[in-house]
Amino acid sequence: MTLPDTMNAVIARKPGGPEVLQWVERPLPVPQAGEVLIRVAAAGVNRPDLMQRAGMPLPPGTSDILGLEASGTVVSVGPGVEHFAPGDRVMALLGGGGYAEYCVAFAGHCLPVPAGLSLVSAAGVPEAAFTVWHNLFELGRLGRADSVLIHGAASGVGSFAVQCAQATGARVIATAGGAQKVAMLEALGILRAIDRYHEDFVEVVEQCTDGRGVDVVLDNVGGPYVARNLAAMAMGGRHVSLSFLQGAKIELDLQTVMRKSLCLTSSTLRPKSREEKTRLAGCLREHVLPWLASGQVQPLIHAQLPLQQAAEAHRTLEANANIGKVLLTVSSF
């Protein structure tokens, strides 16, 4: 296969709103040792992309091309790559560069696309899968006998977390905003879907657990939600923070934490080392890929927009209008 010398990509020409996203031409990247070059079928849109566009400082050496996950076909490999070859269908966690016709990925952060999953839909897997496995199962230690409260459950990560929790046998209570999102959660067959606009999740959790509370909370809200989360937790519960849409600074009642023997923890994916992400990819191969292959877990796709409409995709996420993932597709694929 003859590769082009250049490719089209999307960058933020300056910090700002969705209107600063720009279609540019760039040299085709060359895979270095341990890397693969992927012809992109689709890229997932994530909130860190919005933060990068708004001016959040990037880790050193990060591409100014947006995009933290992509799916596609391997077209070439760098020195030392043994487990992937040209023609392989992959989905990859990226440090950046996914909003493009081609991207490079570290081979250890790539996963094969199961036969039953479309190549485009696979772009909605990596960021959610890495995040959910580490936070819900490693930090949160969610087990078959546990109950879990998942906030923001209609988002791409949230809906993936709901399905993974169900696949492991846990009882799932989840919050979302509005009747349409609640209906989606109910269709997944969870124990209880809560409309955050009209219901008090602390009261609902108490009713659903006979006053015991949940074993795990997966929270992307922060701010005033944290105190309410603690009130909804069982003895020995684990609280895992993914984000803080309502504020990073909170007042914490240590008496509640101590009385219930609670554990509060959190993590963020992008700064993790290459070695740690490779370790997590191994866990996903063992635990999550079988769920994807069997259909127990599937990325919920809200919309597929052409790469040239990246600004519209960002507006959708900023308006919290999505139910599941928003993907950018590459027309040249």
Give the residue among 73, 64, 51, 61 at the shortest CA–CA distance from 10.
64
Token pair of 84 as six digits: 């992937």
Superfamily in which the 129-266 domain is placed by CATH: NAD(P)-binding Rossmann-like Domain (3.40.50.720)
| Euclidean distance between CA atoms 280 and 108, whole angstroms | 9
Give me the residue spans of the domains in the chain: 6-125+299-329, 129-266
Confidence of residue 332 (pLDDT cuts 50, 70, 90): low
Topology (CATH level 3) of domain 6-125+299-329: Quinone Oxidoreductase; Chain A, domain 1 (3.90.180)
| Euclidean distance between CA atoms 76 and 78, whole angstroms | 7
Residues 160-214: tens digit of each pLDDT: 999 999 999 999 999 999 999 999 999 999 999 999 999 999 999 999 999 999 9
In the chain the first and final C-alpha atoms are separated, in Å, by 14
Q: In sequence order, which residues have a C-beta less than 8 Å from that of residue 143 and are 6 or more positions away?
A: 168, 170
pTM exceeding 0.85: yes
Mean pLDDT, rounded, for 60-75: 95
| Euclidean distance between CA atoms 238 and 291, whole angstroms | 24
The HSE-up count of residue 16 (CA atoms within 13 Å, CB side) is 10
Pick the residue with more confidence: 2 or 284?
284
Q: Parallel, antiparallel, or unpaired: how do β-strands 35-45 and 102-106 relate?
A: antiparallel
pLDDT at 198: 96
Q: What is the CA radius of gyration of the chain?
A: 20
Beta carbons within 10 angstroms of residue 304's beta carbon: 17
Mean pLDDT, rounded, for 92-114: 98
1 has a pLDDT exceeding 80: no
Q: What is the mean pLDDT of the chain?
A: 96
244 has a pLDDT exceeding 90: no
